[in-house]
Amino acid sequence: MTSRRTPPSSSAASGGRPSGRAERAAARTVDVRGWVGGIRLSGFMVIMLSLVVLGAWVLVPTLGTYLDQKQRIAALEHSVHVTQQKIDGLKAERERWNDPAYITAQARERLFYVKPGEVVYLIDNDIDAAAQPVEQAPVSDTVQEKSSDWAGQLLRSVTGAGLAKTAADTAAR
């Protein structure tokens, strides 16, 4: 009969002491009962703790109200600043309208007034550059063959022509 040998355990191999891993695990465990039992509450500590809790219970809503009011005040100050800028702009415009040269320039610009003997040339180009039709490249004399679906191309061409904005449509609006 052959005897089987079992490998020695890690604790037996180190002379009966637990391994380093076991020591670290034992060091990590905390005896909660011992820790809680070490806390001693006196009557003074209970009163002070209850006052701290009561103070927090009273002050937290007040602090929230305070922060909300500070935010509202900042928003109102910003509103006052913006309104003051508008008022300053309107005062400056009122001062410009008190100047006769500014009034004359505005009458010429807005109402197209002219002084006697002047000739005015008006250029009527009220279509913006984006709405003007794009000029196409010149058509070549040679026939080019493309491999594409002619029916799909015809449909895209017809729908594109029907939906395109022309210069006459843009001027009518």
Q: Per the domain annotation, does 143 fall within a domain?
A: no
- Domain region containing 89: 22-107
Query: Could you tell me which residues come within 8 angstroms of residue 132 by beta carbon, excluding any fewer than 6 positions away?
Result: 167
The closest alpha carbon to 20, from 29, 11, 12, belongs to 11
Q: Per the domain annotation, does 36 fall within a domain?
A: yes
Q: Per the domain annotation, does 6 fall within a domain?
A: no
Q: Per the domain annotation, does 135 fall within a domain?
A: no
Per-residue confidence (pLDDT) for residue 17, from 0 to 100: 56
Q: What are phi and psi of 130, to 5 degrees?
A: -70, -30
pLDDT tens series, the chain, 173 aa: 455 555 554 444 445 555 667 666 666 776 777 766 677 778 888 898 899 999 888 888 888 889 999 999 999 999 999 999 999 999 999 999 999 999 999 998 888 888 899 888 877 777 777 777 777 777 778 877 777 778 888 888 888 887 877 655 555 55
Q: Per the domain annotation, does 28 fall within a domain?
A: yes
What is the tally of structural domains in the chain? Answer: 1
Please tell me the distance from the alpha carbon of residue 120 to that of residue 115, in angstroms, as a whole number. Answer: 10
Q: Per the domain annotation, does 102 fall within a domain?
A: yes
Q: Tell me how long the chain is.
A: 173
Q: What single DSSP character describes residue 98? A: T
Q: What single DSSP character describes residue 102? A: H
Per-residue confidence (pLDDT) for residue 62, from 0 to 100: 85
Per-residue confidence (pLDDT) for residue 135, from 0 to 100: 76
Q: Per the domain annotation, does 79 fall within a domain?
A: yes
